[in-house]
Amino acid sequence: MAGCLTKFKSVAFFLVLGSFLLMDSYAVRAAEPTSGFRPDKVIMEHISDAHDWHFFTINHHPVVWHLPVILYVPKEGFHIFSSARFEEGHVPYQGFQLLTEEYIEHYHLDPQKFLEGHIIAVHADGSPNLDKPVYDLSLTRNVVQMMLAAALMIFLFTRVAKRYQEAPHRAPHGWQNAIEPFVLFIRDDVAKAFLGDKADKYLPYLLTLFFFIWINALLGLIPGSANVPGNIAFTGVLALITLFFIVISSTKTYWGHMLWPPDVPIFVKFILIPVEILSFFTKPFALMIRLFANMLAGHLIIISILSLIFIFGGLAVVAGWGFSVISVAFTVFMYFVELLVGLIQAYIFVSLSALFISQAFETGHHQQHGAAEEEMVI
C-alpha cells in the first residue's frame, strides 16, 4: 500500500511539474507587448503539427529541437536543411517560406488554403510564388514522435520475446508482467471473441494497433510532446489500414450481401444497396473520427484550463495567482483521466476493427454482428 502511494505521489509531482512548465511557456506569450496572450493561438500551436519541437520555455529561453526540412520540387529535386534556417518564419531560405500568421495577412493569402506552419515557394523579394509546386516530406513533430513510439514498441517487445525464448517455463517478471495481461486480453476478449478460429491470423495486427495507439497517447501526455492520436491524418491512416484488411478478408458472400441483398423484395434492394455501400465507407470514417475527437478533446480541455490562469491574470494579478491553484488541480485530474481515455480508445479502435474484419468473411454478417456493432458504436 505504501509503495502504491509513493508511485501516486511521484506521478502527481511529475504532472504538477509539467503543468508549471507549460504555464511558464504560456507566460512568455502573455508578456508579449504586441499581441498579448491569445488562448486560441496557444491551443492551436499545441495541437497542430510543426517543423520544430518546442518543449518549454525557461526564463524567456525556449527549449526547441529544430527538425529537418525535406522538400521536393519538380525539375529541381530535393532540398534538405534544418527548420532553424527559417528563424520561426521570419526569413525565407533557399526560395522557401514558412508561413506565419503575419505573412499570410501581409500578402492577403487565403487562410483556409494556406495554413500557418506550411511551406511555400517564394520569389527573391519574399513574395509568394504560387506557380511553383512544393511537396513537403519533412520529419515533422508528429512523424518523429510516431517513430519514437515505434522504436519503443520494437525495443520492449523484442526484449519480452527474448525472455520468453530463453526461459519459456519461468514465471513472467519485469516488462513481461506489464505487457502480458494486455496481450492476453486482446487475444481472448477481442481477437477470439470477434474472429473465432481466424484470431491468430489477425492477432499481430490487432496487438500492434492497440499498443501503437496507446503508447502514442501516453507520450502525448508528456509536457511539450505532440498529440499524435489527436491528429486526423494519424487516425485516418489507421482507419485505411483497417479498411485494407476488411477488403482482403472479404468473401464473395460479403460482397453479394452488399451489392444484391438476398431474401428481400426487388424494390427494397434499390434502397438497401446504397445504404450497404455507404455503410462500407462509414466504418473506417467512424474509426477515424472517434479516435481523433476523443484524443483531441482531452488536450483541448487541459490547455484551456491552463489558459484561464492568464486570462484571469490579465484582469488582475491576484486573480491569476488565485485561479492557478484550481487550474493546476483540474489539470492533474484531467491528466489521470487522459491516462484512462488513451487505454479505452485504443481498446475501442481495436475492437471495432476486429468486428468490421469479422463481418467481411462471415456469411450473414448483418444478423450475427448487428447487435454487437450497435453496442460497440454506442
Same domain, 202 and 89: no
Alpha helix positions (H), the chain: 2-30, 39-47, 101-106, 141-166, 175-186, 192-195, 199-219, 232-249, 252-259, 266-315, 317-361, 365-377
What are 104-113's pLDDT values in tens digits?
999 999 988 9
Residue 99 CB partners (closer than 8 Å, separation 6+): 89, 109, 114, 115, 116, 117, 118, 119, 120
Residue 246 sits in the same domain as residue 360 = yes
pLDDT over 50 at 49, yes or no: yes
Q: Within this chain, do residues 258 and 172 fall inside the same structural domain, yes or no?
A: yes
> Tens digit of pLDDT for each residue in 114-126?
988 899 999 999 9
Same domain flag for 192 and 283: yes
For the question of whether the overall pTM of this predicted structure is more than 0.95, the answer is: no
20 assigned to some structural domain = no
232 and 170 together in one domain = yes
**If you average pLDDT over every residue of the chain, what do you get?**
83
Residue 164, pLDDT > 90, answer: no
The reply to whether 180 falls in a domain is yes
- Of 84, 114, 136, at which residue does a domain stop? 136
Instruction: Indicate the residue among 136, 167, 195 that finishes a domain.
Output: 136
Q: Bigger pLDDT: 23 or 41?
A: 41
Examine residue 333 and state whether it is found in any structural domain, yes or no.
yes
Are 199 and 89 members of one domain? no
Tally the domains of the chain: 2
Residue 9 in this model has a pLDDT that exceeds 70: no
> Residue 58: what pLDDT?
74
pLDDT in tens, 211-248: 999 999 999 988 878 889 999 999 999 999 999 999 99
Rounded CA-CA distance 227/209 in Å is 17
Please indicate, yes or no, if residue 4 is contained in any of the structural domains. Answer: no
| Same-domain status, 292 and 363 | yes
* Domain limits for position 85: 68-136
195 and 287 share a domain? yes
Local confidence band at 36 (pLDDT 50, 70, 90 cut-offs):
low
Task: Out of 38-42, 203-207, 313-317, 334-338, pick the least confident.
Answer: 38-42
In a shared domain, residues 185 and 312: yes
Q: Are residues 254 and 187 in the same domain?
A: yes
Q: Per-residue pLDDT tens for 309-364?
A: 888 887 878 887 888 888 888 888 988 899 999 999 999 999 999 999 999 887 44
